[in-house]
Structure 1
Amino acid sequence: MGVRRLLLTIAVALVGGAGVVTGVNVEDADGDGVPTILAPRPARVTVSYQPSGGPPVSPTAQIRITASGGELRDVALTPPSGVPVKGTLAPDRRSWAPAEPLRYSTTYTWSGTAADAEGKTVPVAGKLVTVSPSRLVRATVNIGDGRTVGVAAPVQIQFSGHITDRAAVERALTVNTSVPTEGSWGWLQDESGGSRVHWRTKDYWKPGTKVVVSAKLFGVGYGSGSYGAADVSSTFAIGRSQITKADVTSHQLVVIRGGQQVASYPASYGLDSDPNRNTRSGVHVITEKFTDKRMRSEQYGYDVMEKWAVRMSNNGEFIHANPQTTGVQGSSNVSHGCVNLSTADAKAYYDSAMYGDPVEVTGSGVKLSARDGDIWVWTMDWATWRRLSALAG
């Protein structure tokens, strides 16, 4: 048997009855009529991962797998529980991305295949690890879904821990309004065990505005190993405009609704001669209402129950009924900082008041400030307020 016949016999034996051996090419490479066995041709498709290796990633990172020179046939990203992550395969089958957030502190496994135009495949394989936070920090929004609030209501987000990277958090916050509204986030001093950020409008809200607050905080790094525990949001509306004018020198409490005066109540404000008892000048914001409120002070030695109490500051300032000062209401200021009204007038005001209504106090020798409670955002001019944003530059 000659060399030519020997080579042909070997090739036929390798090819066999099916005519094809996977990964083996049988052809006349040198043109001498003798079939030659060639090395397997590699697949022309490559697979790349984003992110590719490296340190653990946020569970909301932009994760994607991409095929070049071919297409993805099947892809799975699976945690130890064995239930693959839901994902979306692009129409051209060139890329795949998760369609749901991943979890913290989890190792995921890539699996599947990609194929080139000739059907040759490469595996989809590897690991993806998500970060393990040293602390999960929760957030709450002050205005609940479906509420209607007054025109001075700020959006408040309170965190359960300190925020170091405030810029990262602020970039995850959005406020969408049904009418154009200029506003800005501002970071105030920590309170209630954690950081807080408020969104204040430049001017009072326009009545009827619909507001959607979105805080995409899950997966956001807060610094010092802390991460956001969950997203929070709120959808609410701005009600009618009611602005209360409280000039302490007038001894009157005037209510302006929809631009028109609707009431003027004789009032007694804080005692002028004692700075600790002054009703603070500045824009207060109504936050709570009580049909009955216990009020006490060790310093001034009183412990009483008062009717129809409307809180306008977290420093103890209320608008409420006080029968004991009825005789001087409208003529003299004798209270300990609250606004005293008659029982009937206090009830009427209580019924009209709403969370977020502004109370504009003027004429006092002491100004409302940060030491007076949680809502003092209106005491600053617009330029000063905007500088409290972590993204101000």
Structure 2
Amino acid sequence: MIPAVIAAATLLTACGGGADAATPDAPDAKVSVTPAGGSKAVKLGSGISVKADRGKLTSVEVKDDDGAEVGGRLAADGSSWKSDGKVKPKTTYTVRTKAKSAEGKETSATSTFTTEQADKVNKLTNNPGGGQTVGTGMPVSITFDNHVDKDRRAEIEKALKVTSQPKVEGAWGWVRDWGGKDRIDWRPKDYWPAGTKVSVKGALSGINSGEGGWFARDYNFGFTVGADHKAVIDVPSHTLTMYENGKNVGSVTGSAGSPQDPTRGGVHTVRSKNAAETMDSSTIGHGDEWMLDSKWVTHLTASGTFLHSAPWNKSVGVENNSHGCFGMTTSDAKKVYDFLTIGSTVEVKGTTNTNKTDVGNGLEVWQETWPQWQQRSALK
């Protein structure tokens, strides 16, 4: 971890201002900026601060080399200003200040400094994407490109904020993604109300993730929760029932997993969909037993629990004989595919599979109770 080192403050010289005519020899307000102006390799992990002596600050503007303004807080008495976040890698900052001395003399000044390059930059991938409309079971899921050290998680979690209209209670939880990467998900305590507007902000710029590197930017995205569409699979009766706003809107029959490969139970979240796909036995540990083309494939777990057409299965609706998926006729699979959106939930009841599906095996946040989920927070 690179230690936070703050460069020495520098005294700014006035580049303009109106002197009080009655007190032409009155001293200027003494304004200092940290990191020091002119610095070429400011250490990462520090904030930006401005201090005024013999007067007060009346204005502080800080921008990076892209022209983006850096947020901060000016003290009520005008004695100091501090940035909300930390400096980001390989960036030049310009600090413009205005101050007024105790005698009323106004001055302005400009200071610039540049930060050092990070050895490694960590990025993230957010799901859902910005502007997407999703189902009522959709979590906010953020996967990091590089490893996040456990002792860095609390600071990162504090920098991530979820707000919604209407307001919904929820919590962050750290997850190991099925692909092996570090992930943090935010799930509501209960399902989202239909129509909820969600905003996610990550003030990550300048935060150290450990050996995985530094974050070089902030993140801001939002999404909308759509209609309340859910499905329930009753394994013994070979039936999938669709519900809209809690009302039964139709059922289809199918074949769930056999006694040897029973379908995973609990509440799953639709993670993706594919109109046409080749079902490859090797992806679920069955070697080269089959390679079959399927349509209207709705993905639940990352390990291969799907809803899909199974035109090769002559026992659809009669016998549970799949390798864990729920297979249907092509027309019924399309009905289900069209009805469920990314983020809709599918509950599997009556299965003999007692293994709990890992949260990272897809978007499986509903496999845990609310108290269990809260224990995943680094701030618990």
Q: Shorter-normalised TM-score: what interval?
A: 0.7 to 0.9
| Partners of 2:93 and 2:113 within 8 A in 1 | yes
- SS of the residue corresponding to residue 319 of structure 1 reads strand
Over the aligned positions, Cα root-mean-square deviation in angstroms equals 3.9
Looking at structure 1, the residues matched to 209 and 339 of structure 2 have their Cα atoms a distance apart, in angstroms, of 41
Q: Which structure: larger Rg?
A: 1
Check if 1:243 corresponds to 2:230. Answer: yes
1:149 pairs, out of 134, 143, 162, with: 134
| Partners of 2:178 and 2:361 within 8 A in 1 | no
- SS of the residue corresponding to residue 323 of structure 1 reads coil
2:307 matched to which residue of 1?
Answer: 319
1:231 matched to which residue of 2?
Answer: 218
CA displacement at 1:102 relative to structure 2: 5.6
CA displacement at 1:348 relative to structure 2: 1.4
* 1:272-303 CA distance string (max 9 Å, x none): 1x1xx211111111122222110111426111
Check if 1:209 corresponds to 2:196. Answer: yes
Q: Which moved more, 1:332-341 or 1:291-300?
A: 291-300
Looking at structure 2, the residues matched to 376 and 362 of structure 1 have their Cα atoms a distance apart, in angstroms, of 16
Looking at structure 2, the residues matched to 321 and 225 of structure 1 have their Cα atoms a distance apart, in angstroms, of 42
- SS of the residue corresponding to residue 292 of structure 2 reads strand
- Number of aligned positions between the proteins: 345
Gaps of 5+ in 2: 1-24
1:267 matched to which residue of 2?
Answer: 254
Looking at structure 2, the residues matched to 143 and 89 of structure 1 have their Cα atoms a distance apart, in angstroms, of 32
- SS of the residue corresponding to residue 325 of structure 1 reads coil
| Partners of 1:244 and 1:360 within 8 A in 2 | yes
Q: TM-score, normalised by structure 1?
A: 0.75
2:265 matched to which residue of 1?
Answer: 281
CA displacement at 1:92 relative to structure 2: 9.6
The one of the two structures with greater contact order (alpha-carbon pairs below 8 A, sep at least 6) is 2
| Partners of 1:43 and 1:121 within 8 A in 2 | no
Aligned pairs for 1:7-26 within 5 A = none
Aligned pairs for 1:363-374 within 5 A = 363-366=350-353, 367-370=355-358, 373-374=361-362
Looking at structure 1, the residues matched to 90 and 29 of structure 2 have their Cα atoms a distance apart, in angstroms, of 32
Aligned pairs for 1:1-393 within 5 A = 43=27, 45-50=29-34, 56=42, 58=44, 61=47, 63-70=48-55, 103-105=88-90, 116=101, 130-164=115-149, 165-190=152-177, 192=179, 194-224=181-211, 226-272=213-259, 274=260, 277-298=261-282, 299=286, 301-326=289-314, 328-366=315-353, 367-370=355-358, 373-392=361-380
Name the amino acid aligned to 1:373: N
Name the amino acid aligned to 1:67: A
CA displacement at 1:147 relative to structure 2: 1.4
- SS of the residue corresponding to residue 118 of structure 2 reads coil
- SS of the residue corresponding to residue 305 of structure 1 reads strand
Q: 1:264 to 1:223 in 2, by over 3 A?
A: same
Looking at structure 1, the residues matched to 61 and 223 of structure 2 have their Cα atoms a distance apart, in angstroms, of 40
Looking at structure 1, the residues matched to 195 and 108 of structure 2 have their Cα atoms a distance apart, in angstroms, of 57
* 1:43-67 CA distance string (max 9 Å, x none): 4743344568999454882x23232
Q: Which moved more, 1:159-168 or 1:344-353?
A: 344-353
| Partners of 1:46 and 1:122 within 8 A in 2 | no
1:33 matched to which residue of 2?
Answer: none
| Partners of 1:161 and 1:193 within 8 A in 2 | no
Name the amino acid aligned to 1:134: D
Identity fraction in percent:
34
* 1:339-367 CA distance string (max 9 Å, x none): 01112211211111200110101222223
- SS of the residue corresponding to residue 363 of structure 2 reads coil
Name the amino acid aligned to 1:319: L
| Partners of 2:232 and 2:242 within 8 A in 1 | yes
* 1:167-193 CA distance string (max 9 Å, x none): 111011111110121111000125546
| Partners of 1:243 and 1:256 within 8 A in 2 | yes
